[in-house]
Chains A and B, each alone.
Chain A
Amino acid sequence: MIGTKARDTLAASIADGHALAPASSRPGVFRALLAHRTGVAGLVIVAGVALIAIAAPLIAPDDPTRIDALRRLGPPSADTLLGTDNLGRDILSRLIWGARVSLGTAALAAVLILTIGVGLGMVAGFYGGLLDDLLMRVVDVLLAFPALILALAIAGVLGPSITSVMIGIVAVAWADYARVMRGQVLSARERQYVEAARAIGVGNTRILARHLLPNVLPPILVLASLEMGGLILAISGLSFLGLGAQPPTPEWGAMLNDGRSFIAAAPQLMVYPGLAISIVVVGFNLLGDGLRDAFDPHLRI
């Protein structure tokens, strides 16, 4: 999503009206994903980190915010497997709790982005008219920006907090989905199943929710999975700048920022959180690629 990776080939090809596989092939998608080697690797990574995030209170060896002046910048030991930070906090515990903050924020942001983008895109595509024109102009304006820069400005004006970062990102990122969704609805609107539903007297709301949505949603979800990595990079990037999670919250981007002053003396402060972010983003990118290929072998190139 966010940033310059935003519009990669897939987003472009979906937007250009490349129809993805019809909904009828959906039962095979999961099986196809399981046959996709790198896709499975992505699934394993993402599921693993999600598990760590959920189980954080159970598996973290220490309180991630407990300061201990006696063990500042400590080396790895039996108690602190990855050492301690400049305030003597256990790095491993902070990483584990950080998975919660980073993944949780990204997941919530993704849900909001999808809800707003899909909802508005569907309404614009289905009803058309003035509402459509107006919404699409707003989308044009938002897409004219490098997403991270606008999100940064919004988050900055709202004041540093993880909520501000989320609002900033959601406020920008829904536009891409609205545009893609609108395109999907426009092409699906004239399909026979919609005509058939209308012919037997089904109302607009029901057609939207029960007939159109299930058919146009899958490619949007593939797009969302491809852009999850970018979303995590954006959230941790803004946190790194100090606009997001505030101390002592263990968030990966913020941890990296905290470690800046100790780069020469204690590089582990920066190495581990960066590694954590990279692994999760690799996981989402692999999973997204796998899902895309599973949905549509034609796009597999």
Chain B
Amino acid sequence: MLRYIARRLAYLIPVWLGISILAFALALLAPGDPVRQVLQAGGIDAPSAEQVIALRRELGLDQPGPVRYAIWLGGAVRGDLGRSYRTGEPVLQSLLDRFPRTAALALLAVSLGLIIAVPLGIVSAVFRDSPVDQLARLGALVGASVPSFWLAYLLILFFAVQLRLLPVAGASEPRHIVLPALTLAIGAAASLTRLTRSAMLEEMFQDYVRTARSKGLRERAVVVTHALRNALIAIVTITGIRLAALLGGAVIVETIFAWPGIGKYVVDSIFIRDYPTIQGFVLFTGTVVLLVNLAVDVSYVWLDPRVRLGGKTR
């Protein structure tokens, strides 16, 4: 078990370094001179040569790329991602300040999604081709096809504009989280229903299920303790991917609902090319995703004894 986790960790380190290179290299992609852009953003339209040179040195941009990367990475591992060009605040602190909002939204959305999807997917698989199954499949298809940014506005139109039940945007009271969470939950529920259904169907035809039935186990026990138990691996995997994506910032939904998470923060930073923030965000998000993936890998140890016993790992 410990060896398994250690092996996963050892694999994550090169990937994390790759993510850091990618995050850093983003700024090198940018057209134009960032120093001039910062000065212009600060209201200096025609900066003098001295101003440009001074700021270039101040931002450390007079060094060659690899040196800058080394300095940046050195800071990053000590918890320093530089300062935002826009606000002057430390990037890591700004991200950490906003992350709880993003995490709350992500966890609520994924939990809601699971609560809808798992029972629906099971019923859909057990009563395959029944009206319930057909309805669930239609719902999953529509839920997976409707763009979140449209769904968000349909919900706003209905709950905020028509019924005046819920606030449109902001985060000052707890009920502000309802609409963004619902928007994200519907998308998550759609793909999780589909997945639960197909994972359950795959298990329901396995030999061990037939064995369980033939030894006289009640159907309920067959479904829940046998088939579902094995389908869980697939469900946990996709839930992890979903959760990781939302923890990385539901950029569109956070922006629409003015939800002050890291997703909205990076969108605000992108248009003014606040490179330290963009780079920090990418590294931060990549790290969060790696950690969620690690947690999913570790959960396999409990879910699948073959992993624990050192057999085939995914």
Contacts and interface: CB of A to CB of B under 8 A. Distances in A.
Contacts, number: 157
Nearest to B156: A263
B245 A146 contact: yes
Given A146-B248, A256-B150, A159 B31 contact: yes
B15 A141 contact: yes
B189 to A, nearest CB: 12
Which of B149, B275, B286 has most chain A Cβ within 10 Å?
A: B149
Contacts of A256: 147, 149-150, 153
A4 B191 contact: yes
A282 B150 CA distance: 14
B150 A158 contact: no
B142 A282 contact: yes
A8 B195 contact: yes
Contact of B19 (A4, A145, A233, A237): A145
A264 B248 CA distance: 31
A298 B209 CA distance: 19
B interface: dominant SS:
helix
Interface residues of A, number: 51
Interface in B207-245: 234, 237-238, 241-242, 244-245
Contacts of A240: 147, 149, 252
B150 A285 contact: no
Contact of A233 (B26, B147, B241): B147
A5 interface: yes
B245 A281 contact: no
Nearest to B200: A301
B251 interface: yes
Contacts of A142: 22
B103 interface: no
Contacts of A264: 157, 161
A281 B197 CA distance: 21
Contacts of B141: 282, 285-286
Contact of B147 (A6, A160, A236, A301): A236
Contact of B201 (A148, A267, A277, A301): A301
Interface stretch (A149-157, A177-185, A212-220): A149-157
Interface in A96-122: none
B270 A274 contact: no
Given A9-B199, A9-B234, A237-B149, A138 B18 contact: yes
Contacts of A61: none
B72 interface: no
Contacts of A153: 26, 266, 270, 278, 281-282
B29 interface: yes
A286 B137 CA distance: 11
Nearest to A159: B31
Given A153-B270, A154-B29, A3 B22 contact: no
A144 interface: yes
Given A146-B245, A282-B141, A253 B149 contact: yes
A81 interface: no
Interface of A: 3-9, 12, 137-138, 140-142, 144-146, 148-150, 152-154, 156-160, 229, 233, 236-237, 240-243, 253, 256, 260, 263-264, 267, 270, 273-274, 277-278, 281-282, 285-286, 301
22 contacts: A4-B242, A5-B191, A8-B194, A12-B234, A137-B14, A137-B18, A138-B18, A141-B15, A148-B245, A149-B245, A153-B281, A160-B271, A229-B144, A240-B149, A241-B251, A243-B270, A253-B149, A264-B157, A264-B161, A274-B149, A274-B153, A278-B142
Given A237-B252, A256-B150, 4 more contacts: A4-B191, A153-B266, A240-B147, A274-B150
